[in-house]
Structure 1
Amino acid sequence: MWVQIAIWVITTVIGMLLAPKPPKPASATPGNLDVPVAESGKPIPVLFGTRVIRQANVVWYGDVKTTEIRQSSGSGGKK
């Protein structure tokens, strides 16, 4: 029984070490976000059933802007 557990642990570790690393995602900028847009003259899609609409046309969505996240090199959240 202990031999089987040891083999399982060893193969799991080897599998994790040999697994390919996922690529880093591209940084989000206001130009490549998939959010609803408000454009005059954009055609209105007619859908039947359940579908996902990419960049739907809306009247008002709000102020879309990005804010840089800065990590402080101070106490790291400790009190």
Structure 2
Amino acid sequence: MWVQLAILVIAALVSYALAPKPPQPKAPSLSDFDLPVAEQGRPVPVIFGTVTVTGPNVIYYGNLRTTAIKAKGGKK
């Protein structure tokens, strides 16, 4: 029984040592993703049915104005 256990352990170690090592994946960059954009002048596709859109363009509303929030909150 001890001999079989020793052979099993040695076979597992040899198998682990001789296994091919997988290559390290490269870190993803921003160009790897197809993110929706909002560009003026870019056509908005009209789609009927189920279709994968590779470069979606969301509706662009133009120059939006911002207003500062003047109310304080969060403290009691």
TM-score in terms of structure 2 length: 0.50
Larger proportion of helix: 2
Larger Rg over CA atoms: 2
Greater RCO (CA < 8 Å, at least 6 residues apart): 1
TM-score in terms of structure 1 length: 0.48
